Amino acid sequence: MRVLRLRLPGKDPVGAPVQVRQVRTRGNGAQVSTDPKVKAEAEVKAEAKETGLPPSSTSTLTSPLVVAASPHVRSQASVSRIMWVVAIALLPALGGSVYFFGLKSLLLVAISVASSMLFDALTQRAFGRKPTPFDGSAAVTGLLLAYNLPPGVPLWMPVVGAAFATVVVKQFFGGLGHNFINPALAARAFLMVSWPTHMTTMWLKPFGTAPLSGIDAVSGATPLAFVRRAAELVPQGMDLNELLRQANSLAELKRLFLGNIGGCLGETSALLLLIGALFLIIIRVVDWRIPVAYIGTVIVLALVLPNNPMTYSFHVLSGGIILGAFFMATDYVTSPVTGKGRIIFGIGCGLITMLIRLYGGYPEGCSYSILLMNVATPLIDRLTRPRLFGAVKKTKAAK
């Protein structure tokens, strides 16, 4: 639109020639300079020079006004506030991780968060963008990245992951808001293919008093890996039925829910993750649609798909589904913007997760399902435009 700055110089707005200043802005136009006062004052002076009239008028204003399009009030919500709220909601799970796996968890998380923020800011500076290490987005990426690592990994792994997540996945594509896949998950996938042994065997037993180096404290498989390996274990004399009975038992499910199991740093305790997630849903930072559609699909498929030895609650509670469904699939930037699109997105994640788990080569499909659906997001957005107010009747009238 045309943004207009009017000024009526001279004592008499009728008698005096009136200056109409039309500042025509383009679509990207910020019509108000960062310091409107300075700019407008300079304009007043320039005008006075042009017209020979004093800049004063009968106006009682002491300083120039800001002229911008409506609305003139904005909600309290801001990008950094949202990001930090998400970070806070992730903290209970960190507590659980420290409780179950020892202080090594805290150290890994700290390294991951700090290096994410650092790499993010450094790349922004290198690209001539304004560094925003404290907008919370890099911190959330760092947290999620660490949560996706086995607690026994060496300390350089989160650093490499953070570099990949923030530099390659986020800043190379334009920074916050422009990356097309979730940076933390992309980094996990990157680490997975680059150091598969580290990423799949460095599990710690809960309550292990692992020394900070962690390397020598490797043990036990995750519940999902355990199930996958069941087929190998059977020929060795294990009773398959007994194995499955154990895995599906109430006691085991309780352990899964509380987090007293091997697994990635942040994904073990469903309870603590749900506390944070529920908080985010209540304050409406996270849309319920994606997690509900995701987990709902997992439950339905666990009930109907053939070749599934496990109960649906085992599927929901084991692996990274709770963390993925509530905190990673819901990443604004890489998930659809419409309500309907978010449901489709969630269903897609659930479907791919279950296909990988039951028929694929990995025990866990959560992160790949989300990454694949990230790529489908633009298409989903395109297919799920909101319904225009008054659209139906218009087509009727047109006929």
Partner 1 sequence: MLTFRGGVHPREDKEATEHKSVEVLPLPARVFIPLSQHTGAPSKAVVAKGSLVKTGTLIGEPAGRISAATHASVSGTVADVSDLPHPLTGRRGPTVVIDSDGADTPDDALGERDYSGFTNEQIVETLRLSGVVGLGGAAFPTYFKLTPPKEKPIDTLLINGCECEPFLTADHRLMLEQPAEMVEGVKIMSRVLGVQNVMIVIEDNKPDAVATMTSAAASSGFKVRKLRTKYPQGAEKQLIKACLKREVPSGGLPMDVGCVVQNVGTALAVRDALRLNRPLYERVTTVTGPAIKEPKNLRVRIGTPVKELLQFCGGYAAEVGKLIMGGPMMGIAVSTDEVPVLKGTSGVLVLDRAATVFDEHDCIRCGRCIEACPMGLAPQRLNNLIRRGQLEAAKAEHVKDCIECGCCAYACPAKIRLVHQFKYAKSELAAMERK
Say if CB 181 and CB 189 are below 8 A apart: no
Question: 310, 244 in Cβ contact below 8 A?
Answer: yes
Q: Which residue's CB is nearer to partner 1, number 279 or number 332?
A: 332
Q: Which residues contact 265 (CB under 8 A, 6 or more apart)?
A: 97, 101, 105, 108, 109, 146, 147, 148, 149, 150, 151
Helix (H) or strand (E) holding 22: strand 19-24
Answer yes or no: are the C-beta atoms of 299 and 180 closer than 8 Å.
no
Nearest to 141 by CA among 124, 166, 111: 166
Please report how close the Cβ of residue 144 comes to partner 1 at its closest, in angstroms.
15
Nearest distance from residue 62's CB to partner 1, in Å? 7
CB atoms within 10 A of CB 196: 10
Report the 10 Å Cβ neighbour count for 341. Answer: 23
Which H or E run contains 24?
A: strand 19-24
Q: What are phi and psi of 6, to 5 degrees?
A: -105, 140
User: Which of 73-89 are b and which e, b meaning 16 or more Cβ less than 10 Å from the residue's Cβ?
Assistant: eeeeeeeeebbbbbbeb
Long-range CB contacts for residues 121-130, cutoff 8 Å, separation at least 24:
123/166, 123/167, 123/171, 124/171, 124/175, 127/171, 129/171, 129/175
Closest by alpha carbon to 143, among 270, 273, 262, 271?
A: 273
For residue 291, say if its preceding peptide bond is cis, omega within 30 degrees of 0: no
Q: Which is nearer to partner 1, 215 or 379 (CB)?
A: 379
Q: Which is nearer to partner 1, 153 or 293 (CB)?
A: 293
